[in-house]
Amino acid sequence: MSPATEFDYVIVGAGSAGCLLANRLSANPDHRVLLVEAGGKDDWFWIKIPVGYLYTIANPRTDWCFATEADPGLAGRTIHYARGRVIGGSSSINAMIHMRGQASDYELWARATGDERWLWGGTEDSGGETLKIYKQLEDYFGGADEWHGAGGEIAVERPRVRWKILDAWQAAAAELGIAPIDEFNRGSNDGSAYFHVNQRRGRRWSMADAFLHPVAHRPNLTVYTHAQALKLLMDEHVHGDQRRGAWTTARHRATGVRLLRDGQIVDVGARREVILTAGAIGSPQLMQASGLGPAGLLSQHQVPVAVDLPGVGENLQDHLQLRTVYRVRGARTVNTLYRNLFTRAGMGLQYLLLRSGPMTMPPSTLGAFAKSDPGLASPNLEWHVQPLSLAKFGEPLHRFGAITPSVCNLRPSSRGHVRIAGADPLAHPKISCNYLSTDVDRKIAVQGLRMTRQIMAAPSMSRYRPEELLPGPQLVSDDDLQQAARELGTTIFHPVGTCAMGAFDARGVPRSPSTVLDTDCRVYRVAGLRVADASAMPTITSGNTNAPVMLIAERAARAILE
């Protein structure tokens, strides 16, 4: 292998986590760092305009365009499963919502890993580092305070447009006991608020904008685009200084990655580590294609088994949103603005001149968190409320005023998996989400739909005379609403957990056979290999997952550099 193709660190996937790790690891000029991205550059203007997600999702220029397997929990449907395939990854096409999750989410992580540093923290006697790291990463529009930081890389702004119809929905939710709160990033999200967003002056602020572009000039940082990882390169010589944590019992060492770059096979070497940041679909797929995964699955597809890791690709979790649609009257909505040529042109001018208005909107503007059962310790339901409606993503807006309150179960008990479809590393994997596969998830889905109806029937909404279009007022029984959930449900694009972190004993053996990583994101029994993306989450967080991915990446970067 020539010096030109050998690096200290090879990072696979230039998404949110990969951009941060490239920034942190290349800060030392003695480290040669390679960041590998299967997609292209993020210089397309639709990536920068907030509403551009309408053009980047389901577009092979920027999206892997995965599809799920037919799912009984979706009435046998398959659904589009967007994942970013471009510099910035999914942060270049996502909803831009800045959501840390709830403190209770990180209690679960601390319990799963045996590492109290994952706790939320915020008090002097707490060992938790999560809040502190979030503050260090942020550049918050309101400046530094007890909850937020200033001067970090991740821009966090308030939305640049409000809607009277959403203010009315918020008031209606308050009449049901869901009170307005300032924001969702203080550890307890019980209430309703407008979402904070990753934007800067009305433009999308991807994690490439935050971490990669400012350091792209570094001579020790190389970025390959249009380079897809085919296989991890490994040997059986493990350095003594690598035998720690999940690597204590390692018999293999990651030494590099085989790539398909511009039609040519290229091997790149990693003197220190290979770090996978290809996401909850891409990272387990690459591991399985390299012989790291469930032995039965690999043998079925004639992939030589390097290490039998039963948890690779398992434990898939996602948020299933149930999209309800209500027609409203006398309300200003995106539907009513868009159908008029003059107001449509006005939206464009407002954005061009002021960087404000509907073109700065994330897919959802207003949110709410609540408990389906008052006995719960923290909210388990979230609403994303949109001042618009359409039959399904990619289709035209309805030609009448309407809103879409979507509700999701924040802590689903259903578990899916990601599995290679064969030995071809270029073939899309099989993604089985297994939505609504447990009794508790089906029960919570019904509760969420009923609570949505209660909010829409509250006095504050009455002036708009809401009319339920989906799922339809004729559906009354639990069985009816369960079936409606199967027919309406779709992903919010939050897949996590497919290479989960877990606790290890003093011998470096995981306490659960499904564990893949230790708390520092090291892969069990494969020295020099880490996975530092959404795959690592033991359990899904409460809300959008981009910010928690940045937490994982920052923790991994610090562990690597210690």
| Residue numbers annotated as active site | 494
Residue 341, burial from CB neighbour count under 10 angstroms (0-12, 13-18, 19+): exposed
Please work out, in degrees rounded to the nearest 5, the angle formed at the alpha carbon of residue 163 by the alpha carbons of 547 and 380.
45
- CA gyration radius for the chain? 23
The Cα 446–Cα 451 span in angstroms is 9
List CB contacts of 423: < 8 A, sequence separation 6 or more.
289, 301, 302, 303
Please count the residues of the chain: 562
d(CA 371, CA 448): 9
* Residues linked to residue 233 through DSSP beta bridges, in sequence order: 256
Are the CB atoms for 418 and 431 separated by under 8 Å? yes
61-70 long-range contacts, Cβ below 8 Å, gap at least 24?
Answer: 61/86, 62/86, 62/92, 62/93, 63/93, 64/281, 64/282, 64/428, 66/281, 66/428, 66/429, 66/431, 67/428, 67/431, 68/431, 68/432, 68/433, 68/491, 69/430, 69/431, 69/432
Is 274 in contact with 283 (CB distance < 8 Å)?
Answer: no
Which helix (H) or strand (E) segment holds residue 368: the answer is strand 366-370
Strand pairing partners for 292?
307
Residue closest to 230 by CA, chosen among 1, 7, 426: 426
Task: Please calculate the CA angle 460-377-370 and round it to the nearest 5 degrees.
Answer: 20
Count CB-CB contacts under 10 A for residue 301. 14
Does the bond joining 471 to the residue before it have cis omega, within 30 degrees of 0? yes
Query: Is 496 labeled as ligand-binding?
Result: no
Interatomic CA distance for residues 547 and 84, integer angstroms:
16
Binding site members for FAD: 86
Binding site members: 86
